[in-house]
Structure 1
Amino acid sequence: MAENRLGIPLQPSVLFKLPFDKNRLSVTAYHENIIADSPRLLCRYMDPLNYPYYSSYGVHELSIQRRGPALKLKYVNDERLFSHTWLLLIFKTWQRLVLFHCSFLALKARSLSTTFIAPEEYRIEGERRLFQGCPCSQILDDNFQHSLYIFQDDLTHAYRLHAAVGNGELRRCPVWTAFVSELQMNSDTWIERHSRHRVRVKDLHIFVFCNEYRRKAQIRRHGEFELNFTHAAGADAFINVFRPGDSDSEDAVGAIDVPPAQ
């Protein structure tokens, strides 16, 4: 069996599986040993005669980089002196590309076998950073300090919010991301300033990449998602991305910091 040849256990813990090209190619993320916490990717490819071929690498052995609508996964040896392209995955939507990239990076950052992540792997080529993880953009998120970013994709011109670990060994590891819809962009009420440090966002659907993260900790009475900035200047700058000049309104200046409503 292919699983035996690749050293895959009989009952691996599957994290996710994605089909490509009408399922002629698929990529499965799995744990070969949950205790060791060393996730791997399994690629299955069907040849023109429908004969399957398999290949598998640990996420710590791979690097990731965007190429237009595709993600390139490259094998890199331990000394980082040799590499070759393993997979080129073409995505139909920017959202699916982003979710795969963030999922891969979160797995790689948390793998006990990972010794190095190149800085460029944290970036998705073709995205512009409109709001970055500087000190004023730090948020208190489920009682953790996270860096908040706003990205805009050059191809689709769409926006997304992105939260990453703010400090420590896992710094820049993705925690969650959320895509901003056109309906939200055209609404005057989807972002509301609740206090000097707090901004509430309506109808925000976040995709979480960390098992320990509790989304409900940030959800308020009417379903709004609350962003609690450590600096009021961060809340100003965040609102200014979507509503230039609005952060200096009387409501924003006169707001006082109050405990969040549960």
Structure 2
Amino acid sequence: MELVPGAAPGGHIEYHLLQGCCLEANRADVVAFHLDGLRSALAGPPHPHLTVTIEEIRISGQLLRELADHSQVHFSRVPIVLDYLEIILPCLSRSLRDITTHYEDRTMTKENRWRKMYHAMTDEAAGLSLPQRFILYNHFLTLLRELLTRSPNFDLNSLESTRLQVMQLRESRRIPPPPIRVGPGMRPDANLDDMDITSTVHWAEKIFSLPLPSRTALKHQRSSKSFGPHVPWGHIRMPSDARVLFMRPFNDRQISLTVYLSSREKCPYFLLRMYHLGSPWFSLRGAHELCIDRDNSNLQFWRWSPGEGRAKLWASLSFMTWEEMVLLYCCFLSFKARNSRTVQIAPQELTLRGERKLFQARILDDGSRHSLIVYEDTMTKGIRLHAAVWDGALRQCPVWTAFITHQSASPRWLKRVSKYKVRLADIQLYVFCPDYQQQNQRRGKAGAFEICFVSEEASKRFRELFSPTPPDSTITTKSAETETTETTEKPEKS
């Protein structure tokens, strides 16, 4: 891990408050862990109020880290949330510290510790129960995240009413009023800034919001690592038009990856956040500056070191499921291929190590020529369909992928409707292309997905590959690949 020393150029107040988000997130994790231990020690029936409290405290930690992460990307908008952070952080911190005092009280039984904690903290909050208190905190933090990120769901009236509730809670607990800051304030139209960059949904924003049809566990799990070089908060200046496409946490959120797009540059960037001695540190690279490969359950990203004249590991990110690994890999490859700043893509980047090709053929797909490949992961035995650009400047760039689930065992899943066409009754596509419209390939009321092969033989082989009742002369993987290659056009090697 490389750290680049130096003080954050942002103001002291800004850094202090965002550092406070990270510190309170860590405190929330510790409190939730100890309350979970307390719950396990309690006898008798379940304790739903304690269970809800633990879950909401965990959510608080998650939201606090998200605020800190988003603040690095939406740097120019940080001033409009500072006053609100001054309101909630001391109140939230006091609640977490009070809970710690109660569960560490060795003069009482564990049953009485929970009862006293619940009733005493409810009474001091004018009847607001302990679970409801953290639900209130989390609603407030969610609104701040939406304000910071220009979310279309942001509600200014809701933020104001929630602010008043938190202020009442502060007053009832005799927490001094927050300081008055002189500087940028909250304008009624603040959330309308740069609406042009949020008017349409980018394909990458949909990828990790879709539910996974299957979750195939990866073995040999290892920790994720960020190798840097790293700089402290505020050293990386984000463009004013930065638009977050997705965020992925690793190592129980100790590391996070934020992928954002600069609309003016049309360039996607990868921002890593990790912690060192309790402080957040960041490392930033454009997709065009990185190379990717796979090491078992990890995706590895490499950067070029001009000083050493060689490639160095930038990050190694560990995945619990094969599907999530594939999705991030395909996103990265599409980002890099479609980036005007990319000089070249190494041939080995175009295939995911550990997958073997079972089938390949040319298809006509939404009016374009694509290559359809069936991959099998040798580690998990997971199977997926993968469509890529057939030729031209974007040749082999991912267009979509789809994971084959248990549904493929049904005789109704795949139907050959003509010499060249097959339909899949239940398949979910993850699309990595801005222009691809999968609805143009959907047929019938059930929306079966139609694949149109250029070769009749390819259509036949594809059907046999997934047939639950194969013909007497079983086609081996090797012969299927050979015959398919002979009857279809195969892309040239990079």
Fold conserved (TM > 0.5)? yes
- Aligned counterpart in structure 1 of residue 285 of structure 2, from 57, 62, 67: 57
The equivalent residue for 2:347 is 119
Q: Per-residue deviation at 1:39?
A: 1.2
Change beyond 3 A, Cα 1:118–1:192: same
> C-alpha separation between the residues in 1 aligned to 2:335 and 2:279?
30
Matches within 5 A, 1:94-243: 94-132=322-360, 137-182=361-406, 184-221=407-444, 222-243=446-467
> C-alpha separation between the residues in 2 aligned to 1:72 and 1:223?
37
Change beyond 3 A, Cα 1:77–1:210: farther
**Structure 1 SS opposite 2:331:** helix
> C-alpha separation between the residues in 1 aligned to 2:472 and 2:337?
37
Q: Identity percentage over the alignment?
A: 39
| Higher share of residues assigned strand | 1
Are 1:38 and 2:271 counterparts?
no
Q: Per-residue deviation at 1:240?
A: 2.0
| Higher share of residues assigned helix | 2
What stretches of structure 1 of length at least 5 have no aligned partner? 249-262
What residue identity is the alignment partner of 2:452? N
> C-alpha separation between the residues in 2 aligned to 1:178 and 1:241?
16
- Kindly tell me the number of residue pairs found equivalent between the two proteins: 240
The equivalent residue for 1:260 is none
**Structure 2 SS opposite 1:115:** coil
What residue identity is the alignment partner of 1:15? L
> C-alpha separation between the residues in 1 aligned to 2:305 and 2:472?
50
Q: Is the 8 A contact 1:177 1:207 kept in 2?
A: yes
> C-alpha separation between the residues in 2 aligned to 1:164 and 1:246?
33
| TM-score normalised over the length of structure 1 | 0.87
Q: Is the 8 A contact 2:300 2:315 kept in 1?
A: yes
**Structure 2 SS opposite 1:5:** coil
Q: Per-residue deviation at 1:245?
A: 3.5
- Structure 1 runs (4+) deviating above 6 angstroms are none
Q: Per-residue deviation at 1:81?
A: 5.0
- Aligned counterpart in structure 1 of residue 256 of structure 2, from 26, 31, 35: 26
Q: Per-residue deviation at 1:241?
A: 1.5
Q: Is the 8 A contact 2:241 2:264 kept in 1?
A: no
**Structure 2 SS opposite 1:130:** strand
What residue identity is the alignment partner of 1:235? S
What residue identity is the alignment partner of 2:389? V
> C-alpha separation between the residues in 1 aligned to 2:278 and 2:436?
41
> C-alpha separation between the residues in 2 aligned to 1:11 and 1:61?
20
> C-alpha separation between the residues in 2 aligned to 1:247 and 1:108?
43
Q: Per-residue deviation at 1:211?
A: 1.4
Q: Is the 8 A contact 1:43 1:56 kept in 2?
A: yes
> C-alpha separation between the residues in 1 aligned to 2:409 and 2:304?
44
What residue identity is the alignment partner of 1:58? G
After TM superposition, the structure 1 stretch with the greater mean CA deviation from structure 2, 230-239 or 88-97, is 230-239
Q: Is the 8 A contact 1:27 1:41 kept in 2?
A: yes
The equivalent residue for 1:251 is none
> C-alpha separation between the residues in 1 aligned to 2:264 and 2:279?
34
Q: Is the 8 A contact 2:441 2:450 kept in 1?
A: yes
**Structure 1 SS opposite 2:395:** coil
| TM-score normalised over the length of structure 2 | 0.47
What residue identity is the alignment partner of 2:354? G
RMSD: 2.0
What residue identity is the alignment partner of 1:87? A
Q: Per-residue deviation at 1:14?
A: 1.1
What stretches of structure 2 of length at least 5 have no aligned partner? 1-9, 11-71, 76-233, 475-494
What residue identity is the alignment partner of 2:304? V
> C-alpha separation between the residues in 2 aligned to 1:17 and 1:246?
49
> C-alpha separation between the residues in 2 aligned to 1:126 and 1:100?
15
Cα deviation code 1:210-245 (max 9, x no counterpart): 111101000001210000111111111211212244
What residue identity is the alignment partner of 1:171? R
What residue identity is the alignment partner of 1:63? C
Q: Which has the larger radius of gyration?
A: 2
**Structure 2 SS opposite 1:13:** strand
Change beyond 3 A, Cα 1:53–1:247: farther
The equivalent residue for 1:88 is 316
The equivalent residue for 1:71 is 299
**Structure 2 SS opposite 1:204:** coil
